[in-house]
């Protein structure tokens, strides 16, 4: 057996949004399994608690905690951060995974309310979170922030334009934060999923044509699964990625290879 501390998160505190199911849940499971204590948040407390209970049962001790929070509201995010501080202490790892997409169609037809909601929840809320959490990391001289973007950031879309624009903005936010926080030892990266079989993206993958495209066009010949994000979360949270910051890391089965 190889004895390594590269992926050891013992003693670390992680805060995750959008973590009661799907990719966020998988990332929370992985962080806890590697020793971190995790605060799980989403809009529904019962789902957060169910996920926390399952993680604690798997770990054999209390490493996961639940808190209800709608990431689109600054005061709720502050309450989440305050609750994490009170329960677990200063935050070492931040995973901004909450996101929305209430509109499917042309940018020429999107209502202002839908556009504002997409940009606020997907971009502005993560800026708020970093402003609230970064001081913990700066004080320690170490920390890791990861924000979920999308391969949709790499090109236009005729039906998901506003969502794609928000994910381009996430990458821009990550790069700027990485430059600002790097001198303090804090790393900031974006995770860019391809088409993943989660409830959030069900309308995109739950049809025969999507399955056929995946089997024929994605190099790994399958759609992504939530479990595929466990390793990436642990890598970015741990010392294994000590020299990685400002990056947009794709988890897409090879569908979006970039120079």
Please tell me the total count of domains within the chain.
1
Which CATH number covers residue 42? 3.40.50.720
Is residue 115 in some structural domain?
yes
Is residue 128 in some structural domain?
yes
Q: Provide the mean pLDDT of the chain.
A: 93
Is 73 designated active site? no
Q: Which structure tokens are listed for 237?
A: 């949270």
Q: Higher model confidence: residue 112 or residue 216?
A: 112
Is residue 213 in some structural domain?
no
Is residue 105 in some structural domain?
yes
Of the residues 73, 104, 163, 243, only one is catalytic, namely 163
Is residue 233 in some structural domain?
yes
Whether 207 has a pLDDT exceeding 80, the answer reads no
210-234 tens-digit pLDDT: 777 777 888 998 888 999 999 999 9
Is residue 206 in some structural domain?
no
> The domain containing residue 170 runs over which residues?
13-194+229-251
pLDDT at 210: 72
pLDDT at 201: 56
Least confident residue range of 90-99, 193-202, 240-249:
193-202
Largest CA distance in the chain: 58
* Nearest-angstrom CA–CA distance, 66 and 44: 10
pLDDT at 67: 98
- In this structure, what are the phi and psi dihedrals at residue 61, rounded to the nearest 5 degrees? -160, 170
pLDDT grade, residue 149 (50/70/90)?
very high
Whether 4 has a pLDDT exceeding 90, the answer reads no
Is residue 76 in some structural domain?
yes
Is residue 257 in some structural domain?
no
Q: Higher model confidence: residue 21 or residue 3?
A: 21
CA atoms within 13 A on the CB side of 123: 19
pLDDT grade, residue 193 (50/70/90)?
very high
């Amino acid at each position: 057996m190889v004895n390594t501390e590269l992926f050891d998160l013992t003693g670390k505190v992680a805060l995750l949004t959008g973590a009661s199911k799907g990719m966020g849940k998988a990332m929370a499971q992985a962080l806890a399994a590697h020793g971190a204590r995790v605060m799980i948040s989403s809009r529904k407390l019962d789902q957060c608690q169910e996920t926390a209970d399952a993680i604690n049962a798997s770990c054999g001790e209390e490493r996961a905690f639940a808190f209800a929070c709608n990431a689109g509201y600054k005061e709720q995010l502050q309450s989440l951060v305050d609750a994490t501080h009170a329960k677990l202490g200063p935050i070492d790892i931040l995973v901004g995974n909450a996101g929305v997409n209430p509109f499917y169609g042309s940018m020429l037809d999107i209502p202002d309310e839908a556009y504002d909601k997409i940009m606020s929840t997907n971009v502005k809320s993560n800026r708020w979170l970093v402003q609230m959490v970064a001081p913990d990391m700066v004080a320690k001289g170490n920390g890791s922030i990861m924000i979920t973007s999308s391969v949709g950031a790499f090109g236009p879309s005729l039906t998901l334009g506003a969502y794609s624009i928000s994910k381009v903005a996430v990458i821009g936010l990550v790069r700027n934060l990485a430059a600002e926080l790097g001198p303090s030892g804090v790393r900031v990266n974006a995770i860019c999923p391809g088409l993943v079989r989660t409830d959030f993206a069900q309308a995109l993958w739950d049809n025969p044509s999507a399955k056929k495209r995946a089997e024929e066009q994605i190099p790994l010949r399958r759609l992504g699964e939530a479990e595929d994000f466990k390793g990436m979360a642990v890598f970015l949270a741990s010392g294994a990625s000590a020299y990685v910051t400002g990056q947009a890391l794709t988890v897409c089965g090879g569908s979006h290879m970039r120079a």
